[in-house]
Structure 1
């Protein structure tokens, strides 16, 4: 059997510890054993962000392929793009185990991984030896024990920028002490200015266009969100990814591990991340693009994020609970919803309603 039945695979993997299941999944993908979801090129689903063309809006979020193990196989899953990482300059093991918890009753995951990474040099060799068949982003972060956070981001951009279509600056993980503080401190403009300068050097010397994206938290208040958008616009950031995981525990969770510390992803995050996405879209006034992430488990979730203002979307936790066929299901349903018009025409069209917590029946 060339491809594994996704129902059997899901049953098998969900009876294993989460990190072991993830490791096995990466090995299966690397061997080409997980579903060739080749998709038709639905022209009405094509999206362009700057110089990057996406066959459809659905891609893979950072966190799945932390060390660039399978980015060269991702097109076989039917995804339009992938983002590897989070990568840190030096190898680090992350926080102690157990650190990943399935909340099956909630279709959610809590993780406190803490950026486990094989480090810059390992990932660089992977990128030198393999090519991505879809647009590739590289998500970067600082080491837990770093003495200079900004220098970590500069070093990673300088070393890996030539391999990427975009670099995503991750300053929103709740599992690295002090990291989220960058979002609302004087360090943010300094960081973005330095990364922007590094981007210009890469573009000038390599003749390669490089986008810079910023990944932010869903737990920001309105003032913090607006300040981040204004700073991003000032320093020519191309896109903002909304959102990372939440530490909000006011959500009504049912599962055994609901009180574990860490970032929550999956279905309970969906409305929160979509609402902040809509607010961001309205404030930016179409001057920056947005990537919708958080709790996408079906085509309706995906469509709603685009109505809120997302140009493209990224999945991770939804794939854990629904399997790789979710990609094809979402893409084909989006095509049905938009047979006569390009999908880009709906972007942000319901942002006002969604920003107020009203989710239209579209």
Structure 2
């Protein structure tokens, strides 16, 4: 109830400004009392094994909450079993012009066309070094907007090389709808080239640092059954360590007629819930438990979290659900799954 009162005030502010305001408040030392009231203290470890790593529980943050790794410490205090930062690119970039984030409040949805706004991989590394978080930290990487699709693989390799020693796992974002032609990396010859090169880079760095860092691919919810079957085959062939399902959707069928529904960008939150779950069900069938699935998209309750797990996800992530339901949602999910 306390959060919903605060939410009324937060929702009077532009969504992007509200997001940054909340994170900055949580970073203040003066917010310790509020954290003790609202944040979940996970006293017992569930010890979930996935991608060769041990997770204290199944719930993590989705990429996008903390793009630059500026809030790792305060997020780590909320009870999550893991944190994923990013999406980050080799070079800093502003992203799309503002406004670029919109709430579909009646449907608990969010539209974003952020466009990989971030301060670059080198800045992220500095922030990781400054944090005191000792848990599982995933880093979500993408290509710069000005890099052509033809040359995009190099952007991913640059990021993998730089972040390898600082990440628990690396997530390859080839599915954001907000970077022109990015989703073409999920298909055909270029997907083969991408997977081949990132696995070679992983093997090279494994040998160099005597440390194996798992690599997962984040895919779109808008892929057809045929496309999901193909990408599953390739993930198995190249022995990827995990798949994150899913990114935001371009499907506007569930938000038609609502304010902001015609804004360009990817949709997250409740309108994505069933679509992402259906993708997890198909992946579970096609992957045959050879590659673990991290489920994300529209988790806003215990039931929707359990549905993702029952559909085949080993781990789950939230973002929009946290915006609409606050930190108590973290406690409810962790205690009940």
Which residue of 2 is the match for residue 153 of structure 1? 156
Which residue of 2 is the match for residue 136 of structure 1? 137
Which is worse superposed, 252-261 or 205-214?
252-261
**Partner Cα distance (1:69, 1:154) in 2:** 23
**Superposed counterparts of 1:1-362, under 5 Å:** 6-31=3-28, 33=31, 34=35, 35-41=38-44, 43=46, 46-147=47-148, 148-253=151-256, 255-334=258-337
Provide the alpha-carbon RMSD of the alignment: 1.5
**Partner Cα distance (1:144, 1:182) in 2:** 14
**Partner Cα distance (1:200, 1:93) in 2:** 33
Any idea what the Cα deviations from partners look like across 1:148-179, whole Å, max 9, x if unmatched? Answer: 20110000000001101110000000000010
Which is worse superposed, 149-158 or 324-333?
324-333
Q: Size of the alignment, in residue pairs?
A: 329
Any idea what the Cα deviations from partners look like across 1:117-165, whole Å, max 9, x if unmatched? Answer: 1011211211222242320000000001014201100000000011011
Query: Is residue 244–residue 295 contact of structure 2 (8 Å, CA) maintained in 1?
Result: yes
Any idea what the Cα deviations from partners look like across 1:209-267, whole Å, max 9, x if unmatched? Answer: 20000000000001111111111111111111000000012224453111111100000
Any idea what the Cα deviations from partners look like across 1:22-58, whole Å, max 9, x if unmatched? Answer: 1112212222534331123154xx3101331111111
Moved over 6 A (4+): none
Superposition TM-score, scaled by structure 2 size: 0.94
Query: Is residue 141–residue 172 contact of structure 2 (8 Å, CA) maintained in 1?
Result: yes
Structure 1: give runs of 5+ residues left out of the alignment: 335-362
Structure 2: give runs of 5+ residues left out of the alignment: none
Query: Is residue 248–residue 272 contact of structure 2 (8 Å, CA) maintained in 1?
Result: yes
Pick closer, same or farther for the CA change 1:283–1:333 going to 2, 3 Å: same
